[in-house]
Amino acid sequence: MEQVKLLQDLNAAFVELGAGRGMLSLALAQMFPESLYVLIDRAHTRGKADRFIGGEGKDEEDAKVNSTTLRAKIDIRHLNFAGMPEILDKPVVCMSKHLCGVATDLSLRAIAQTIPETNSVKASAGKSKLACVSSRFQGLAIALCCHHVCAWKDYVNPAFFQAHGFKAEEFKLLTSMTSWTTCGMGLEGDAVEHILGIRSVMTRYIC
């Protein structure tokens, strides 16, 4: 995040998507304790780090009154940044260290469609078309995972696959293949042939 200059504006709202306990925000808050941290997760999580974020050097009462942490218990599918008044006057930086499959697509869609544009940009644009992403949005840092749970109906760029000759019904097969590099199933023995029945095809492309 530092290399791509996402940590330059301390007035930014750092939004952790699929936050869980909020440990990524907690780590970042060690560097920027006064910034606003918005934690998004649909699950009820035990052992949350919320009260420690930005609370270093503050007593418990002061930490509650001057909290720099906001948690929203909501499915990312229903996330609407425009409904969060706390971030409307701030630059927005989104981040996640574990955002499963379709949640990444849903996050990208929420960023593109629901972060409101600043009034000054709206005024200067006039009747011309505004950019697809708000100028308030500063950037995104996500560690991707669980590609096998991506879904065609939510995927943000189906045109890419269609341009390469793939159809919607083949998307599930493609996503299931993404785990091959980490599942430990090598080409030796008959595992590939037994499970997938494509040993001859694999051999043809490898040799």
**Domain definitions of the chain by residue range:** 13-145, 156-196
**CATH 1.10.3470 is right for the domain spanning 13-145:** no
Residue 71: predicted pLDDT: 92
* pLDDT tens, position by position, 146-200: 888 899 999 999 999 999 999 998 998 888 888 776 665 555 555 555 555 554 4
Do residues 91 and 13 make contact, with C-beta atoms less than 8 angstroms apart? yes
Determine the 3-state secondary structure of 116 from DSSP. coil
Residue 207: predicted pLDDT: 41
| 100, two tokens | 């499963």
Q: What single letter denotes the amino acid at residue 81? A: F
pTM over 0.85: no
The average confidence (pLDDT) of the chain is 81
140 - beta bridge partners? 94
In whole angstroms, what is the distance from residue 125 CA to residue 131 CA?
9
Helix (H) or strand (E) holding 194: helix 191-196
* pLDDT tens, position by position, 33-43: 889 999 999 98
Torsion angles phi and psi, residue 120, rounded to 5: -65, -40
Nearest to 102 by CA among 14, 17, 1: 17
| Residue in this structure with the two tokens 């052992």, named with its chain if needed | 47
Nearest to 104 by CA among 36, 164, 3, 175: 175
